Amino acid sequence: MKPHLIKSFLVAGLVLIQPWCAWGQEEAQGIVQGAFDHYRGKASEATVEMVIHRPDWERSMQMDVWTRGAGDSLIHINAPAKDRDNGTLKKGRDMWTFNPKVNRTIKLPPALMAQSWMGSDFSNNDLAKSDSLINDYEHTLSGTDTEDGHRVYIIKSMPKPAAPVVWGMQVLHIRDDHVILSQEFFDEDLKPVKRMTGEQIQMMGGRMFPKVWRMQESDKQDQYTLLRYHRLQFLDHLPDDYFSLNRLKNPPEN
């Protein structure tokens, strides 16, 4: 059966079932929103190590990350020395990058959003559209599971009609304490493209949080990117000037 047929059957199925499972959908929506709020918080400040692993080499970077709400983030690279002070600012859906050597901020054009971010398995889009999951997708609860004494919700997220999305479907595994265990991305033909998993879940910044995030393309076992949180703190508020071009050039001390 052709993929788009499967997709239309799925859609048709969803439409038919909709009246009876409006409650399920509402619940799923709540679970996703809860998980999103849980890992983003109102604002956060973190020190993260990014490890890019390839079959024949590996590279690690240290960075400070500030986030606010669903839309804003600022990333500042500390190490290696060669890349120090490079930075990325995201405001809403716009992204800028700053390089100290040329001392310029460059706004990323739409055509380059699919490119990888800093050579990792994360694309610029993964960063820029991080809140897309909340705004652009319809969530349905497709099953539950148990793991380590926790209930795990399996949620299937299909894009809303005409939403400007990158993925044809996402499948989320969310624990009952709002921890996202995995997020799998599918293309328009509903074939798996890549998968992000949370590992080493522990208390961080006063919440249960995966210390390590792993992003891996579906057909490549020996190449992946790890985000390892060394320090994470949730805040009530970060001022506007944290997420400005000026701050991108002169990052705050963490």
Partner 1 sequence: MLIDLKMAWRNIWRNPRRTLLTMLAIAFACVLLVFMLSFQFGSYDTMIDSSVKINTGHLQIQARDYRKDHDIRKVIPDPQPILQIIDRIPQIMAATTRASAFAMASSASRTYGVMVVGIQPRSEARVSTLGQIITQGTYLTAQPDDQDFYGALVGRLLAHNLRLSVGDEVTLLGQGRDGSVAAAVVKVRGIYSSGMEELDRNAMQIPLAAFQEIFSMQGAVHEIVVVGHALSQVPRLKADLQQRLGGLKDEPPLVVLDWDELLPGLRQAISMDLVSGAIFYLILIMVVAFSILNTFLMAILERTHEFGVMMAMGTRSGRLTRLVMAESAGMTLIGVAVGVLAGVLLTGYFQVHGIDISGSSELLRQYGIPSRIYPRLSLLSITIGPAAVLTITLFAALYPALRIRRLRPVEALAYL
Give me the residues that bind partner 1 (CB under 8 A), please: 52, 56-57, 59, 80, 82-83, 86, 97, 99, 101-102, 104, 106-109, 111-112, 115, 118-119
- C-alpha dihedral over 10, 15, 21, 23, to 10 degrees? 120
Choose between 96 and 209: whose C-beta lies nearer to partner 1.
96
- 173, 154 contact by CB (below 8 A): yes
- Spell out the residues 6+ positions from residue 210 whose beta carbon is closer than 8 angstroms to its own: 179, 180, 181, 198, 199, 200, 201, 229
Give dist(CA 197, CA 175) in Å, integer: 13
**CB pairs under 8 A, 24+ apart, for 167-173?**
167/193, 168/7, 170/133, 170/137, 171/142, 172/32, 172/35, 172/133, 172/139, 173/145
Choose between 99 and 144: whose C-beta lies nearer to partner 1.
99
Query: Which residues does residue 252 pair with via DSSP β-bridges, in sequence order?
Result: none
Nearest-approach distance from CB 138 to partner 1, in angstroms: 33
Nearest-approach distance from CB 203 to partner 1, in angstroms: 32
Choose between 6 and 112: whose C-beta lies nearer to partner 1.
112
Choose between 28 and 108: whose C-beta lies nearer to partner 1.
108
Nearest-approach distance from CB 217 to partner 1, in angstroms: 13
Select from 238, 207, 227 the least CA-distant residue to 66: 238
Nearest-approach distance from CB 111 to partner 1, in angstroms: 6
Nearest-approach distance from CB 53 to partner 1, in angstroms: 11
Choose between 98 and 234: whose C-beta lies nearer to partner 1.
98
Choose between 126 and 136: whose C-beta lies nearer to partner 1.
126
Three-state SS for 223? coil
Nearest-approach distance from CB 81 to partner 1, in angstroms: 10
